[in-house]
Amino acid sequence: MKTGKLLQFVNCLILRNHKLINEDLWVRDGKIINPEKVFFDEKITADEKIDCKGAIIAPGFIDIQINGAFGIDFSYNTDKVEEGVQYVSKGLLEHGVTSFCPTVVTSPREVYHNVLPRISKRAGGKHGSTILGIHVEGPFINVEKKGAHPSQFIRDLNEGFSSVLDTYGSLDNIKIVTLAPELKNADRVIQKLTSLNISVSVGHSIGNLKDGEEAVRNGAILITHLFNAMLPFHHRDPGLVGLLASNKIPQNRIVYFGIIADGIHTHPSALRIAYRTHSDGLILVTDAISAMGLQEGKHNIGQLSVEIREGKAYITGTNTLCGSIATMNQCVKLFKEATGCPIEYALEAASLHPALALGISDKKGTLNFGSDADFVLLDDGLNLLSTWIAGECVYKRL
């Protein structure tokens, strides 16, 4: 039965089942539909044909770790949380991100109690990208691998799951928790979070391979920004990096890992090692800070003065890097250049893989029939042409 407007995208290559195929894409009521049913059951033609002029159509990008952008930091701009998240979600459309997990780093207890209830899960549209839920990165991490996290707010899990509830308050809007698996009671906490359909990621850790394997057996499914904020690979105990090649992972389980392909945080050789070792689990993340999307020059962001020079963010007046500012579409291109992987793989690492990790691949991350019509149009150089959510164009490059 015909309902909404029927759209037919023609003259395009669509990414489906790991291949770019020369086929039209049909959309109605915000979903990707099977054209055979239209032809044979309804015997109708499209209400509108959209000529893609040879463009690639790929699933919209999903960023599961982004700390802020466009001058907004989700952990520090807490007085106007809703406005800040809205501003970022709108800006991300220009970079092909149709869904994301706003990430809150190690913070005081009162920040969690103030911020977490106010970043609600939300469907995307012209107003901005879909909010899948919050990624809370910390405070249950190892102080020895804190990175840029403030050490005075790092907490232990000595009270088990009560520590989690006391720190975060409400868990309703949380989608991912990053914690260090070697902490006391981490096993029970991982089991409980997993039972609540909250994904657990291991990171900011001095954990060894055994700690990582135990965390995976208890339900952890992710590694936070592989190679960063963890013990370096060692041949006698490869640490969390060793999960990529462990033979003690439960059968039919994939360990996913975020990786920052911004040309700075992870050497191209390390990207190639990760890709060649465990390609099924690789997820591109930006781990972007609030300076992402800002112009070259000096910016005051919260209490930090940042200077952007040649596409990199430094603490003003120094040569000290202070975080990633690469956008997701830039990461896709940089990753492909570094690894020589197929275009299809680079695109799926930013769409299908995060959707699989979060258990939402029935709706997001693919162009399969019945999936949400969230996709991007790109040229042969993987430059973004337009972004679509639920079959509606939400951004178009001029």
| Residues of the binding site | 137, 148, 204, 225, 228-229, 236, 265, 321-323
**Hey, is 247 helix, strand or coil?**
coil
In what order do the strands lie in the sheet containing 312-315? 297-301, 304-309, 312-315
Q: Is 44 exposed, middle or buried (0-12, 13-18, 19+ CB in 10 A)?
A: exposed
Q: Is 379 a catalytic residue?
A: no
From the candidates 73, 187, 287, 372, give the one annotated as an active-site residue: 287
**Residues 39, 77: contact at Cβ < 8 Å?**
no
Tokens standing for 104? 């809150």
> 170-195 b/e with 16+ CB inside 10 Å = b?
ebebbbbbbbbbbbebbbebbebbbe
138-140-144-150 Cα dihedral, nearest 10 degrees:
50
Helix (H) or strand (E) holding 238: none
Tokens standing for 6? 């029927």
Helix and strand numbers, DSSP H then E, in the chain? 10, 22
Handedness of CA 161, 164, 167, 172 (dihedral sign): negative
Look-up: residue for tokens 């793989």? Answer: 345
Amino acid at site 134: I
CA distance 352 to 344: 10
Look-up: residue for tokens 């391979």? Answer: 209
HEC profile of 252-291: CCCCEEEEECCCCCCCHHHHHHHHHHCHHHEEEECCECCC
Tokens standing for 192? 């409980």
Amino acid at site 198: I
List active site positions: 287
